[in-house]
Amino acid sequence: MTVEPGPPRPAVWMIAAAFCFATMGALTHGVAPRCDWLLVALVRIICSFTMSASMAILAGQRLVFLKPRTLWLRSTAGTVSLICTFYALSRLPVADVLTLTNMYPLWIVLMSMAGTPRREILLDLACVVSGIAGVALIQQPHVSAAANGAVPVALVASVTTAIAMMGLHRLRQVDPRAVVAHFSGLASLVLLAWAPFHGKLSGLLDVDPLTALMLLGVGVSGTVGQIFLTMAYAAGVPSRVAVLSLTQVVFGMMFDIVIDGRVLGPVTLAGFFLVLGPTAWITVRRGRIREERTDPTG
């Protein structure tokens, strides 16, 4: 008697998470003309803090605050990444922002080259160069947006995400819900402290019902996406589910085309390929190397 393999739930959960995050991006981009991006980011992160802290407490996990020190590195980097991402989403098409912010594996490669064999370094550098070339192509239609810092800010988001992810690797002994609660709590405090000095406080407090509904959608879609993401990483092989997170770029393209009527030119598509191709390859290869090193039968 043979046992049929179970359904590919981790893959389904990761794709569902990607769709939720793309939806959050589309709502953020759509609500940008109606209210300031800082309010959108604040709604998103407060929802995340409420969810993660509640889940940790209900599961009997202790919330962490002062230690370990790496936790503050992860939370600080994550806060910068959040701010940069929502700023960029208010000024650039969704697919472009998702592509730029998801190239963080390339920066992780650059930050962890010590001890890497020369042949692998050359391959990694080729991927990074490809990614940078892709960024240059994606930036071409957005010269005015780039003047306002949107493209560079999105790149800062990807770099700080890489720092946050490297910090997560050293926080394996801390419950993931407590880690998310610490990050979202710090980000919430930073944004709340920033709001009075933002210069658009009246816009943060005065929203119409449709805007409020869209803001709620940002919070809900981001929160549900976080839940699906956690489920996928808990039940699946990280290197296999991580690469599926790039499907959020595909969903982002669909939103850009259907909602904004965007026409993707060959130069932009080539830029997407030059960024996403090496990113996916590095994600899978590094994941396999990690699995081989931790395999007790290897």
Q: What is the pLDDT of residues 187-222, one digit of tens each?
A: 999 999 988 777 665 555 567 888 889 999 998 898
- 197-214 per-residue burial string, b: 16 or more CB within 10 A, e: under 16: eeeeeeebeebeeebeeb
CB atoms within 10 A of CB 169: 12
Decide: 107 and 282 in contact? Cβ < 8 Å: no
**Residue 280 is which amino acid?**
A
Spatial separation of the C-alpha atoms in residues 268 and 251, rounded to whole Å: 16
What is the model's pLDDT at position 200?
A: 61
Q: Confirm if 194 and 94 have CB atoms less than 8 A apart.
A: no
Over residues 35-88, the pLDDT tens digits come to 888 888 998 999 888 888 888 888 787 777 777 777 888 889 889 999 999 999
pLDDT tens profile 1-27: 343 444 567 778 888 888 999 999 999
What sign results for the dihedral spanned by CA atoms 143, 147, 152, 153?
A: negative
The residue whose two tokens read 């290869």 is 285
Statement: residue 169 has pLDDT above 80 = no
The whole-angstrom separation of Cα 129 and Cα 61 is: 43
CB 232 within 8 A of CB 28: no
